[in-house]
Chains A and B, each alone.
Chain A
């Protein structure tokens, strides 16, 4: 094999990400080895490298970004959606927004937070499209919200997710935004286009529903243990 041929092969292996040349050693010692970039696994890529790759238009880097955050974002979307299909729609819309607006990401916070916020906004848009707003008076919510305690290890993620998904859409949105994401009721009211009192009322109702479900689940578990 001539040196020129090897150089061509070296360039070709570069195009393939260096996978070919990592194992193929030149058999002619006189041939000058072409510089080969080591194959980097997606897990070894830094967040900045992935962002830069996406900004350069690399579909491979977009895939890496998707693979890195798809699981967590799917969990987020599942909390806001009633079904898996709805969650997938939200996540698809969210990732398209991510890729189209990645150049606006200022890298002042972890990328995951930025993506999560985009997913939440996508869920909000989906909610506005699907669920008509229902006015609820501010006096409808119970005043006493606290007082109970739950043993964390008694409940599985899937069980809690199912409880949240079974909530009415407006309750589910408010509960997620307040209890999980940490937004205040005023912010939630602005995001959803409802009053702060309505947000509080809907959260209180959601909380009562979830509390009852948790208690029933705990009772079933206790009954099962006794049996």
Chain B
């Protein structure tokens, strides 16, 4: 191999081999680069710096979106937990009613009453004068009269619990009972107080009083409601609150459960949730999450002379609005668990159709039904309008309808929440019968989406949101047994399904907007998880309840301004 040699001697020119020749000549050589090279390098450094900032910004936005999702989830969970506390107290009431007694028939109405309590604990407005009304609305031909009681109490009655307990005898409720009053405009409107409680079969009612106190919190109402659940132990519907505070009511009508107040109170609680979502979406970004540099890839776009005019035009409010229609197809799993604790016996109640003598199955049938529960096709059509908060974030709301199906199978002819084997002529435990379910809902979705609005070509989008749906109707049928079909509507009082459903959803995917087009198509996977159970009366603890979910694909088309909505 070549070796370096140095034959330099005094008086002679230096000599060397080929390697030394090149090494020495190249060692200290310098070539001045062209002047524009630094400008190119400077520009390239700036572009890469912007890209780094943009990546960091995207990371921050994902963190912010995740934080919002966590906040939303925790908030919803806390809200549900609070309502479950009230529900648990009402369930205790139902358990104290002796099975088989006439009062047991009244227990069926407790479920409706505790829903009222749930609504009351969810932030309903409360009165300052402490008026409590417990009444029963007339329902059906049988109910030609209505009875309601108005309880006028002293201000101490509605004082905080601690104050009542300290006072021991500070408050006494004066009971003024009105009997045999015509079914006028409804007891729920008396003195502006919300009505809770009803009497069934002329016996004790599971009254859930909504006590009012000016400026008091919803949790205070929930506490009072819990204490009110002792009504079943007292004769003549006398309810003891906190020992000394007594709220008595007279319940003597033969009316069935008043479901009207349920619907009203439940819906009244919805605006509070929606406003909470709106507040969440309106939170301003901290400085660290704002655009680090005013110019990102728009550096090139600025060289387009037409862009400036587009940007000015897009600053108008109309330019921020985009209309969207979306269709999603998903695998929907109702994830219902109808199993009941062995101790809770539920009496038979009249039902239409074939299930006139249906019995509630405590375990085997429900477990078999759940084990064979299979997801079905869930389709949703949504029309929304989006408002661009920034050039990346948009808030959307609108209307959606859904048709969701599922199936299960059991050898007990399990249908909805009931074991109907005793009413089937071909009853046989050795044969498994498939049951098909269909649920139709309509709701109000609210979403927060992250997307590159106005970006031509392919781009990424992600969204998360919440929705409140109303179960318009459900249909269930055992295959091969057409007479077993059951249909529940929104107005059906005995539906085993929850009528108002809340859910969270999220999705991500790709969107495509052709150049110079005002429309965008998007496609991507979507997940949805229920915040509430589909069955109306789950027997499990809140954190053990099973909630519906769906996984599918969503496609949407969006119409809006051609240029980016916000610069």
Does B317 touch A at the CB level, under 8 Å? no
Min CB–CB distance B473 → chain A (angstroms): 62
Q: CB < 8 Å: which of A59, A70, A96, A150 contacts B37?
A: A70
Question: 17 A-B pairs, CB-CB below 8 angstroms?
Answer: A59-B45, A67-B38, A71-B31, A71-B33, A72-B28, A74-B31, A74-B32, A88-B34, A92-B41, A148-B17, A148-B18, A150-B17, A151-B15, A179-B22, A180-B22, A180-B26, A211-B18
Asked if A72 meets B30 with Cβ closer than 8 Å, knowing A148-B18, A151-B14, the reply is yes
Interface positions, chain A 54-105, Cβ under 8 Å from B, are: 59, 62-63, 66-67, 70-72, 74-75, 78-79, 84, 88, 91-92, 95-96, 99-100
Task: Give the A interface residue count (CB, 8 A).
Answer: 41
Min CB–CB distance B271 → chain A (angstroms): 50
Min CB–CB distance B232 → chain A (angstroms): 73
Min CB–CB distance B47 → chain A (angstroms): 10
Residues of chain A with a CB closer than 8 A to B19's CB: 179
Q: Give 1 or 0 for each of B405-442: 1 = CB within 8 Å of chain A CB.
A: 00000000000000000000000000000000000000
Min CB–CB distance A47 → chain B (angstroms): 17
Q: Do residues B2 and A146 form an inter-chain contact, with CB atoms below 8 A?
A: yes
Residues of chain A with a CB closer than 8 A to B18's CB: 148, 150, 179, 207, 210-211, 214
Question: What number of residue pairs across chains A and B have CB atoms under 8 A from each other?
Answer: 107
A155 to B37, CA, bound (A): 29
Question: What are the nearest 3 A-B pairs in CB distance?
Answer: A71-B30, A75-B29, A74-B31
Q: Do residues B30 and A152 form an inter-chain contact, with CB atoms below 8 A?
A: no
Does A153 touch B at the CB level, under 8 Å? yes
A147 to B29, CA, bound (A): 26
Asked if A59 meets B42 with Cβ closer than 8 Å, knowing A146-B3, A152-B24, A180-B23, the reply is yes
Q: Give 1 or 0 for each of A152-166: 1 = CB within 8 Å of chain B CB.
A: 110111001100100
Residues of chain B with a CB closer than 8 A to A161's CB: 26, 29
Q: Give 1 or 0 for each of B483-519: 1 = CB within 8 Å of chain A CB.
A: 0000000000000000000000000000000000000
Task: Give the B interface residue count (CB, 8 A).
Answer: 34
Give the residue name and chain of the B residue nearest to A146 (CB).
B2
Residues of chain B with a CB closer than 8 A to A214's CB: 18, 21
Does B184 touch A at the CB level, under 8 Å? no
Q: CB < 8 Å: which of A66, A88, A96, A155 contacts B21?
A: A155
Residues of chain A with a CB closer than 8 A to B2's CB: 145-146, 179, 207
Does A108 touch B at the CB level, under 8 Å? no
Does B5 touch A at the CB level, under 8 Å? yes
Does A149 touch B at the CB level, under 8 Å? yes
A81 to B41, CA, bound (A): 18
Does B541 touch A at the CB level, under 8 Å? no
Does B16 touch A at the CB level, under 8 Å? yes
Residues of chain B with a CB closer than 8 A to A179's CB: 2, 18-19, 22-23
Q: CB < 8 Å: which of B13, B22, B28 contacts A151?
A: B13
Q: Do residues B44 and A75 form an inter-chain contact, with CB atoms below 8 A?
A: no
Q: Do residues B40 and A92 form an inter-chain contact, with CB atoms below 8 A?
A: yes
Residues of chain A with a CB closer than 8 A to B17's CB: 146, 148-150
Q: Do residues B34 and A96 form an inter-chain contact, with CB atoms below 8 A?
A: no
Residues of chain A with a CB closer than 8 A to B279's CB: none
Asked if A91 meets B37 with Cβ closer than 8 Å, knowing A149-B7, A155-B25, A160-B26, the reply is yes
Residues of chain B with a CB closer than 8 A to A99's CB: 45
Q: CB < 8 Å: which of B1, B13, B16, B41 contacts A66?
A: B41
Does B312 touch A at the CB level, under 8 Å? no
Give the residue name and chain of the A residue nearest to B5 (CB).
A149
Q: Do residues B13 and A153 form an inter-chain contact, with CB atoms below 8 A?
A: yes
Does B48 touch A at the CB level, under 8 Å? yes
Does B20 touch A at the CB level, under 8 Å? yes
Q: Do residues A91 and B44 form an inter-chain contact, with CB atoms below 8 A?
A: no
Additional pairs, 13, CB under 8 Å, beyond known A66-B38, A153-B13, A156-B25: A62-B45, A63-B42, A66-B41, A67-B38, A71-B32, A88-B40, A92-B40, A92-B41, A92-B44, A149-B15, A150-B21, A157-B29, A161-B29
